[in-house]
Structure 1
Amino acid sequence: MDFSGFDIALIVLAALVILVLFKGIKTVPQGFNYTVERFGRYTKTLTPGLSLIVPFIDAIGAKMNMMEQVLDVPTQEIITKDNAIVAVDGVAFFQVLNAPQAAYQVAGLQSAILNLTMTNIRTVMGSMDLDELLSNRDAINERLLRVVDEAAHPWGIKVTRVEIKDITPPANLVESMGRQMMAERDKRAQILAAEGLKQSQILEAEGRREAAFRDAEARERAAEAEAKATQVVSEAIAKGDPQALNYFIAQKYTEALTRIGSATNSKVVLMPLEASSLIGTLGGIGEIAKEVFGQSGPTSAQRPASRPPVVRGDN
C-alpha cells in the first residue's frame, strides 16, 4: 500500500499531537506536589489531579512528598556535662508544607534534617548531667523539637516530633549507678527509721507530760478538798462545836490504820498506842453519831479499857 505525501503528513501531525498532549498533560498523585520550571526557572506548583503545562517549554522540576515522613537518627556517642559518654539514637517526624521552599532552599532535604537533628541532640544532651539526662527524656524531646523545628522552618517543612529512643551508658557506669541507687535507698530507709523513732519519742514525751499534768491536777484538787475540809472543821470549832474536830481526827486515824493493815510486806504489826487516847477518839465518834441519829450509846467513860491494837496482815 503506497502512502501519498498527504497521508504521511497526517501521520506525522497525529504523532506530534500525541506527543504534545503527552508533554502538556500531567497527573499528580495524591500526597505529592510537583514544581514546574520554565527554562530552568520555577513558575508554579502542581497539586494532586490533572494539570496542563506548556509542552517543550515547561518541565517538571521536583516531585515533593507532602505526607508526614519518618527519619531514623542513627546511634551516636554524646559526652554529657559531667563527662559521661552515652550512646543515643532517635527518630524524627517531619512534613513538607511548602514544596518550592523544600525543593529550592536546601539541597538534600532529608540529609539536611538528619544532620540538623543529630547536631542538636549533641548540643542539648551535652549540656545536661547524666542523671538529668536519664530522668528528663520528655523535656529533652520537647526541647529538641522546638530547636530543630525553628531551624528547619526556612526550608518549608514542619518537624512534628523528635523522639529519643535509647540512651545507653557504658557498662561500668551502669554498675556504678546501681550501687549509687542502693546506697541512696539505704540512706532513705535509715532516715525514715530515724524519723519514726523521733516521732515515737515525741509522742511518748507528750504522753508523760499529759500524765504528769493530770497527776498534778489530781493532787491539786485533793489538796483543795483537804483544805476545804480543814476549813470546815476550823469553822465548826470556832463556832463551839468540838465534835467536828473529833470526827476529823477519828477519820485520819482510821485511814492510817487501813494503810498499815493493807501493807503487803507486813505479817504482824504491834502498835504501842495509849488506850485512853484511842477510847477518847472513838468516844468522839460515838458522840457525833448520837447527835446525828439520835441514838443513845455508852459514853467514853463507860467503855472498858482496850488493849493496844494489833493489826494482822494477810498470811
Structure 2
Amino acid sequence: MPFTGLDFIIPILAILVLLVLFTGIKTVAQGYNYTVERFGRYTKTLTPGLNLIIPFIDRIGAKMNMMEQVLPVPTQEVITRDNAIVAVDGVAFFQVLNAPQAAYQVSDLQNAILNLTMTNIRSVMGSMDLDELLSNRDAINERLLRIVDEAAHPWGIKMTRVEIKDINPPANLVESMARQMMAERNKRAQILEAEGLKQAQVLEAEGRREAAFRDAEARERAAEAEARATQVVSEAIAKGDVQAINYFVAQKYTDALAKIGSSSNNKVVLMPLEASSLIGSLGGIGAIAQEVFKGDGQAGSPRQGSRPPSIRTPDQN
C-alpha cells in the first residue's frame, strides 16, 4: 500500500504539537520564582511546581532565588569622627520577597545591595568615635540593618541581618590604646587603694569615738556612784550616826594606803599619828592593810625574799 502525503503530515503535526506542549510546560524548582513576559512585558510569576505558559508568546523573564542569601562585604577603610582610620569588613543577609520588584525595579540586585551596604557602613561608622566604634558593635549592626532595609524595601527584598565582622585599627593606634588602657587601670587601682585607706581611717576614728564615749559613760557612772555614797554618808551623819563618817574616812585612808603600798620602790611608809590611831581603833582595818601590803607575791602570802613595808609614826622615828 503506497504512502500518501497525509501519512507524512500527521506525524509531523503530532511532533509539532508535542514540541509546543513541552515548550509551554515549565517546571519551577523549590525556592525559586520565575517571571513571565509577554512580548517583553511582565504578566505573571511562576511559583514552584508545574506551570503552563503560552508557547512562542510568553517567555521566562527572570529566575529569582527566593531563599535567604549571603553577600560578603569586602574590606574598606573608614575614617571615624575623631579622624582615626580603621579597616572594616562585614556580611549582609537578604531575602527576595517580591520577585517582579527584585527583577524590574533594580539592575544587578546583588551589586546594588553591596554598594548600598558599603556606603551606609562608611556613613554610620564615620559618625562615631573610635572608642564608641569598638564598644558598640551591636548598636552599629542594628542601625545598619534598619537603614539598609529601609533603602532596599522598594526592590522587593528584606534585609535580615547586617553584621560587622572585623574592625582593624592601625598598629600604632592599637599600641596607643593599650597604653591608655594600662594607665586607666593603674588609675582605678590607685583610686581603690585610696578609698580603702579612707574607709580604714573612718572606721578607726569611729572606734576611737566609741571607746571615748564608753570611757566617759563609765566615769559618769562612777561619779554618780560616788555622789550616791557621799549622799548616803551625809544622810547618816545628819541622823547622828558617827560610825558612818568613821567608815567613810577609813575607806579613803585605805584607798590611799593601797596606792602607796602598790609601789615596788617603797619599803617604809611614814604615816601621821592620827592615821595609826584610826587604824588601831577600827576593827578589821589592820587585816585590810595587811592584804594591801602583800606586794607582788601570790594571794595570802608575802613575796619571798622581800620585806613587807613597815608603817611608822613620826614618834617612832
- TM-score interval for Structure 1 and Structure 2 normalised by the shorter chain: 0.7 to 0.9
Question: What per-residue deviation string (whole Å, max 9, x for no partner) do you get for residues 126-163 of structure 1?
Answer: 11111111111111111111111111111111100111
Match of 1:268 in 2: 266
Pairwise CA distance, 1:16: 1.5
Q: How does 1:269-284 map to 2 (within 5 A)?
A: 269-284=267-282
- For residues 180-199 of structure 1, the aligned pairs below 5 Å read 180-199=180-199
- Shift, 1:286, TM fit: 6.2
* Contact map agreement 1:27 1:49 (CA 8 A) in 2: yes
The match for 2:24 is 24
Cα separation, 1, equivalents of 2:106 and 2:206? 77
2:237 is the alignment partner of 1:237: yes
Helix, strand or coil at the partner of 1:55: coil
Aligned residues: CA RMSD: 1.8
- Give distance in 2, aligned partners of 1:132 and 1:286: 91
Q: CA deviation at 1:2?
A: 8.0
Partner of 1:227: 227
Residues of 2 paired with 1:150 and 1:140: CA distance? 16
User: 1:89 aligns to what?
Assistant: 89
Aligned 8 A contact 1:78 1:87 in 2? yes
Matched, 1:307 2:305: no
Cα displacement (A) at 1:248: 1.1
Amino acid aligned to 2:275: S
Conserved 8 A contact 2:250-2:278: no
Output the CA distance in 2 between the equivalents of 1:185 and 1:90: 32
The question of 1:109 aligning with 2:114 is answered no
In structure 1, what is the equivalent of residue 161 of structure 2?
Answer: 161
Instruction: Tell me the TM-score normalised to structure 2 length.
Output: 0.87
Distance (Å, rounded) in 2 between the aligned partners of 1:49 and 1:150: 32
- Tell me how far 1:277 sits from its aligned partner: 3.1
Partner of 2:218: 218
Q: Which runs of 5+ in 2 are unaligned?
A: 286-310
Give deviations 1:152-180, integer Å, cap 9, x for gaps.
Answer: 11111110011110000000000000000
Paired letter, 1:185: R
Pair 69,2 (structure 1): closer, same or farther in 2 beyond 3 Å = farther
Determine helix, strand or coil for the equivalent of 1:160.
strand
Cα distance in structure 2, aligned partners of 1:3 and 1:73: 69
Matches within 5 A, 1:54-65: 54-65=54-65
- Mapped pair 1:71 → 2:71: yes
User: Identity percentage over the alignment?
Assistant: 79
Confirm or deny: 8 A CA contact 1:88 1:168 kept in the other structure.
Answer: yes
Q: Does the Cα contact within 8 Å between 2:269 and 2:312 map onto a contact in 1?
A: no
Amino acid of the residue matched to residue 138 of structure 1?
D
1:173 partnered with 2:173: yes
